[in-house]
Amino acid sequence: MIYGGIEAGGTKWVCGIGDGHGELLESETFPTTTPEETIALAAQFFRNGRALGGVGVGSFGPIDVHRASPTWGQITTTPKPGWARTNVVAALRSALDVPVALDTDVNASALAELRWGAAVALKTFCYITVGTGIGGGAMVNGEVLHGLLHPEIGHMRIPHDQARDPFDGACPYHGDCLEGLASGEAIRQRWGRPGQELADKAEVWKLESEYLALGLMNVICTLSPQRIIIGGGVPKQSSLLPLVRHRLRELLAGYFDAPDLKQAGAIDRYVVPPTLGDRAGVLGAIELARSAAQHREP
């Protein structure tokens, strides 16, 4: 049996087909435009392929991930124009007539990294993406964390030294939350250019590492993950993760009694990029579909 998966991002959608063993048989990427157009392109991709056992979606959020909820499948309060209240699950189900599974993009990526990537054999870990926005997914004791809604790590509040960084923050809801200060969009607004064009500006990455280290500190204080995986476009700047790890150790200040957090060499294996790279999201989405099919009532 083969399954479809969509990494439904705010900037682009990645659609893929796989057999549930961590390999992509085929895939296609297109920009996220209107809900109608984007969902139609995805449906077209899957209709052209072989019969699918189901389609999984790892979506940007916030989304309603609770199956028992009347609004299950809906993208809820997103500031992305046109997308608030779009029900991705309902639209795909009616277009494709197959079962559709849903989770956040970051929970899907976490799932893929658990199966085939940087979190194999871990029970409790976190997957954070730093791209246009900042999102975080988590597994705790081997299960995906949803709780009341789902984690929204990007919207936590962190110290912001206005004297050092007078930028007010880019989040339309919270101003200078973590996402408002450290997302790719925040970098673009603060420095007037996207991060890819700022590779040689040391002050950009020093400041960025300060905010990300504060965010990771708070994740460690709250979720106590065994490892933190950081994906997304922004950490592709190769100087960034070493700066984040260094600053994080300073912030932790030796309080947390674990070699992973105290030793310079060990923290390199604690804060890591995704082993599956950019394929984590779509592979995780396929795994959502496979796992839902396996657990479905006959």
Least CB distance from residue 112 to its own copies, whole Å?
20
Nearer to its own copies, 4 or 180 (CB): 180
Q: Is 258 in the site for its own copies (CB under 8 A)?
A: yes
State the pairing for strand pair 228-231/125-130: parallel
Tokens of 221: 């204080």
The residue among 48 and 141 lying less far from its own copies, judged by its C-beta, is 141
What's the half-sphere exposure (Cβ side, CA atoms, 13 Å) at 276?
A: 25
> Is residue 124 classed exposed, middle or buried when 0-12, 13-18 and 19+ CB atoms within 10 A define those classes?
middle
Residue from the set 17, 106, 223, 230 that interacts with its own copies by CB under 8 A: 223
Q: How far is CA 211 from CA 53, 84, 180, 186, 294, in A?
A: 42, 28, 10, 11, 40
The footprint of its own copies on this chain (CB under 8 A) covers a number of residues equal to 50
What mask of x and - would describe binding to its own copies in positions 113 to 152, judged by CB under 8 A?
----------xxx----------x-x-xx-x-xxxxxxxx
Residue whose CB is less far from its own copies, 255 or 264? 255
159 touching its own copies, by CB under 8 A: yes
The yes or no reply on residue 188 touching its own copies (CB under 8 A) is no
267 belongs to the binding site for its own copies (CB under 8 A)? no
SS3 35: helix
Q: Which is nearer to its own copies, 160 or 279 (CB)?
A: 160
Please identify which residue in 33, 34, 44, 224 interacts with its own copies, judged by CB under 8 A: 224
Q: Does 156 bind its own copies (CB under 8 A)?
A: yes
CB of 279 to its own copies, least distance (A): 26
Determine if 218 is a binding residue for its own copies (CB under 8 A). yes
The span of 5-13, 189-197, 231-239, 252-260 binding its own copies (CB under 8 A) equals: 252-260
- Rule CB under 8 A: say whether 261 interacts with its own copies: yes
Strands (E), 141-276: 143-144, 228-231, 271-272
Q: How distant, in Å, are the alpha carbons of 102, 197, 229 from that of 117? A: 21, 30, 10
What is the Cα–Cα distance from 10 to 80, expressed in whole angstroms?
7
Instruction: Give the integer Cα–Cα distance in Å for 130 and 234.
Output: 6
Angle of helix 184-191 relative to helix 202-223, nearest 10 degrees, comes to 150
Our measurement of the distance from residue 177's CA atom to the centroid of its chain's CA atoms, rounded to an integer in Å, reads 17
Q: Is 72 in the site for its own copies (CB under 8 A)?
A: no
298 touching its own copies, by CB under 8 A:
no
Cα 196 from Cα 180, distance rounded (Å) = 18
**Site residues, its own copies (CB under 8 A):** 62, 64, 76-77, 123-125, 136, 138, 140-141, 143, 145-160, 173-174, 214, 217-226, 251, 253-258, 260-261
